[in-house]
Amino acid sequence: MPKLTYSDVFIGGELVAADSSEELVLTSPVTEEEIGRVPSASTTDVDRAVAAAKQAFHGEWRGTTLDDRLAIIRRLRDLIVENREELSVAITRQMGCPITQSRAIQTDNTLRAIDAYLDFVPDYPFRTLRRSSTANALVTREPVGVVAAVSPWNMPLAINVQKLLPAVIAGCTMVLKPSPETPVDAFMLAELLVQAGLPAGVFNVVPAERDTSAYLVGHPDVDKVTFTGSPAAGRAIAARCGEDLRRVTLELGGKSAAILLPDADLDQAVEAMRMGSFRNSGQVCSLKTRVLVHRDQHDEVVERMVGLVESMPVGDPIDEATQIGPMVSRRQRDVVEGYIAAGSQEGARLVVGGGRPRGLDRGYFVEPTIFTGATPDMRIVREEIFGPVVSVLAYEDEDEAVAMANNSAYGLNGSVFTADLDHGLAVAGRLQTGTVELNGSGSGYYAPMGGVKTSGLGRENGPEGLDAYLELKSVGLSVAAAERLAGSVDTHTYR
């Protein structure tokens, strides 16, 4: 059983006493009882962590090579494999993700992200020579500096590592502020990084509430901020970073649509919604919570969706059979139940779910829920619910389906289901989203992930995710100097 209580913060490569005596209490979303405690970092703790990161950046870490840094990441991968079950159980106990999904979409996806970076980084253009008849330049990409990372509770390990990988590989240092609901795996990650040989100060962990988080993202010695969370918090962070022209990457959520075209394989499309709409009990920003179907197929799809929901056991997330666990907290359950009530009050038809599961008297459980008859102006269609609630909406023709999908303040993800590949790609090209899944296929960790509109700024994953942690520098060269370098770096020759 993983340790869920830590008495210290992680600064400068070790656990050290926090400045404040305040603590964050961890509550089981299953039993509603206390399961652990960690320090609540103060602004003084943040100052210490940023100072440690800054010292490491300008010290030992600055002298490491790319090979040195990749070797640390390889060792980290091996350690995650060795500790896979303990990490997965820690995630499930903290936030209620079904254990099978904690293994598959939390811990194993973390390994896939590592594998992708280890694969493409050796070919990344850290240094390129650009030659022309008028000038020659060596273009370099150098680490941006100290990174403040603020991560959410829904995919804690995966997102923490998603931010760590490009930062460490680029040569940056990091101060991580994990969510108060899920700080334990951040400490576990820090301990594994020490074992992997990461120098002191490169990675620091300061769990805290919102005020301390705001202090961190505005710290004068932070060079870049990466944040995953709500649009409201993202706007505040962007505004604060804008004041200092601080680099920022934001991944802020979505209200994604799945378009089932008339020629789609309905068995395959509806089954894809098991994970595409309901994984992690509906607490994932890229889930397809609007399912758009042709009017002639509406009733059939609704019937199939009801059957899907009824096939998904709700219960204790540590049980291997469970597919829907609790919401992370009482507050989140209240939010989801508020949206369900609003859907009914605004005139949508509740066809399955909508309440608390029978026999589960404790825990923050909500039944997986399907609405029909919703309209674009309803809150359940416009706003991100972050729970197991899906609306099935009918369209008359393809143009209306695309317009409905794009009628959102968000633009993170979407799906198109069709038997015609070329047609599917054409429809995907019309969707205003950062990612489109064709027939339920994800894009993986070699491709960029991020959104348009209020879904965020910038991209994570793939070479584009590494770009955000590097600064470009151009060094002008004489013809003779360019000739000397031409054989040792990638060279591009222009007119």
Distance CA 55, CA 413 (A): 39
Whose tokens are 């499930």? That residue is: 92
| Residue of 97, 172, 181, 251 marked catalytic | 251
Is the separation of the CB atoms in 454 and 231 below 8 Å? yes
| Residue of 97, 172, 241, 285 marked catalytic | 285
Distance CA 288, CA 372 (A): 15
Whose tokens are 């994953």? That residue is: 461
Is the separation of the CB atoms in 317 and 97 below 8 Å? yes
Distance CA 24, CA 39 (A): 6
Active site residue 285: yes
Active site residue 241: no
Torsional sign, CA 320, 323, 328, 333: negative
Is the separation of the CB atoms in 148 and 226 below 8 Å? yes
Distance CA 122, CA 69 (A): 11
Beta bridge partners of 449: 460
Distance CA 52, CA 47 (A): 9
Q: Choose among 206, 190, 182, 192: nearest CA to 93.
A: 182
Is the separation of the CB atoms in 214 and 236 below 8 Å? yes
Q: Which residues are CB-contacts of 196 (< 8 A; sequence separation ≥ 6)?
A: 72, 73, 75, 76, 79
Is the separation of the CB atoms in 233 and 225 below 8 Å? no
| Two tokens, residue 330 | 């009482």
| Active-site annotation, residues | 251, 285
